[in-house]
Amino acid sequence: MRWNMGQRLGVLLASFSLLASVLLGYLGFSAGRALLEQRASQTLLDTTRILAAHWQAGLNQVGQDVQALAELAAHQPAHAASQQQGLADAFAAVLRSHPDYLQARWIGRQGHGQELVHVRQWADARIERVVAPALLEKGHLPFVYETLPLVRGAVYVSDVGLNHEDAQDWRDPPMFYVAAPVVSPQGAATGVVVLRIDALAFLAQMRSGLPSDYQLFLANRWGDFLIHPDSTLALGFERGRRALVQEQFPATQALLQAGGRNALFAHTDAQGNPQSVAFVRMPHGGVDDGRFLLLGLAQAMAGVQADTQALGIATLRMVALLALLGALLAAWASRLFILPLRAVVQAAQAFSLGRAHGPLPVQRQDELGELARGFQDMEGIIGAQLQELNRSRDAMEHLAHHDALTGLPNRRMFTQCLQQAIERARRSGRPLALVFVDLDGFKAINDNLGHAVGDLVLQATAEAIRGAVRQSDIVARLAGDEFTVLCENVDTPEAAQALLHKLAQAFAAPLAVGERTLPVRASMGLSLFPQDGQDADSLLGSADAAMYRAKSARVA
């Protein structure tokens, strides 16, 4: 008697039904293990959320401290030595009660941000007041010029990074600044009070109760690690070798780009050990400035897996018996229909890897033949769809690195180009120039003529800048009405100034904006490598500061 496919499949299903009761035990074990792992993962996520809440509460406390000191400074005469000593004593008391506070300063608005009172705390908890002539001008630093315009009660919080103020402190831990304006009784901002915070010590106080096997991660809004169990990966962007959270943990990409609030996922570390990882996106800085940090915790799953080891041993014995029986059944069933089915499976696997595969049993007139013919048709459809997807991916890759309005490289791509150019300049010894361009009165154009005209102005500006520089120079739009120009092999400061003059000439005449011409003016700042900075951030900061000086001079 010759069995058809239905009879053969019936026998096979009957054999599997006999095994169902045994498999139920294994499935129960798997479900219990999954539940334990899920509960451990959820606990990890809840702990991460709590730690993020503690970070926010800690920032609020720092904000209250700096506001209290700013109010105290607002009632102190700026040049009364006795009053300054009283404020210095208050600074010292705050530092003494907070080991994570490294410095407290009162910086005046006058004298280019002259330090009036400066108290610092050393690693050995020694408190020291810095006196003249060591008191410096700090008006060029963001925590001064971005804090001065704030209203009373507002607080400025900087990004987390290395200290760039004092050369001798470059090996300090990651830190950030919290500042508040000093507003006189008449309502005028006379200066700022700023606290420098040790980010590691700040976070250590909050994670003191965490289990010792938890690994802590902290990353900025671009994905650069600020804190990492491997200290060589922390703050790599400050040392010219970036380490990104989205590269080590691809699942965090949604938190960085799509604005998700948290992510919980499984991960395998470099040693092949499974981990449960949780990341939380938490705001950092002002309510409306869009800055955030990614806080993450990782826990090895070995501890959770150990709880199920005893149950696993018993289950393994059962599985071994089932495997032996299954092998005998598979050897018999393979003669019936496994071989042609395997040909279809191997074709599917080869197709998923983009490889050629052997012939399919399309000539069969049974169910396997129908499956083979259906797969062959599906293969042709999917191949066409993959080609379309590849074209869409290439377009999305271009959009990820270029500004959609002007077609110029965006901030991400420009930062990469600048870092690469700095490395080439270091090797060749030839300097490079960076120009920061900011349009004057662009908000008025948007308000008076509409955003559509504003977009045309930005496009015309991009064309004007590209027309004024060399083909080898890189023009980028950072954000809004901010543009940058990267010029390599600029051998002399005079050549850089000539470039700046040529860019200024591009805005001397009105720009053609659609069917009209509009007078568009721009303020520009120039920085040179290596004179004005040794890395991308410092070069951008120097050019930005130079641009603001040019803008201020024009307004004056």
Two tokens, residue 217: 């991660």
Q: What's the CA gap between 556 and 548, in Å, rounded?
A: 12
- The highest-level CATH class for domain 34-46+203-306 is alpha beta
In the structure encoding, which two tokens stand for residue 79, read together?
A: 């040049």
Give residue limits of the domains in the chain: 34-46+203-306, 59-196, 309-394, 411-555
CB 474 within 8 A of CB 466: no
Domain with residues 411-555, CATH architecture? 2-Layer Sandwich (3.30)
Nearest Cα residue to 143 out of 113, 110, 123: 113
Lowest mean pLDDT among 8-17, 128-137, 250-259, 543-552: 8-17
The 10s digit of each residue's pLDDT in 395-425 is: 677 777 888 888 899 999 999 999 999 999 9
* Domains 59-196 and 411-555 are alike in CATH topology: no
For residue range 123-157, what is the model confidence (pLDDT) as tens digits?
888 999 999 888 999 999 999 999 999 999 899 99
The per-residue pLDDT for range 171-227, each reduced to its tens digit, is 467 889 999 999 988 888 999 999 999 988 888 776 677 777 888 999 988 899 888
230-245 CB burial, b ≥16 within 10 A, e <16: eeebbbbbbeeebbbb
pLDDT above 90: residue 277 = yes
Q: Tens of pLDDT along 43-84?
A: 888 989 988 888 888 889 999 999 999 998 888 765 556 668
CA 9/CA 3 separation, integer angstroms:
10
Entry pTM = 0.50
CB-based contacts of 84, cutoff 8 Å, min separation 6: 76, 106, 116, 117
- Looking at the predicted structure, is the pLDDT value of residue 169 above 50? no
- State which fold the 59-196 domain adopts: Beta-Lactamase (3.30.450)
- pLDDT band, very low/low/confident/very high, at 31 (cuts 50, 70, 90): confident
Q: Residue 170: what pLDDT?
A: 44
Owner of token pair 């045994």: 22
Q: What is the average pLDDT score of the chain?
A: 82
Identity (one letter) of the amino acid at 138? K
Which residues pair with residue 394 across a beta bridge?
none
Q: Is the dihedral of CA 266, 267, 272, 275 positive or negative?
A: negative
Residue carrying structure tokens 């790599």:
236
Q: Phi and psi dihedrals of 3, rounded to 5?
A: -85, 140
pLDDT number for residue 477 = 93
Q: What's the pLDDT band for 166 if we cut at 50, 70, 90?
A: low
Got the DSSP string for 21-33? Answer: HHHHHHHHHHHHH
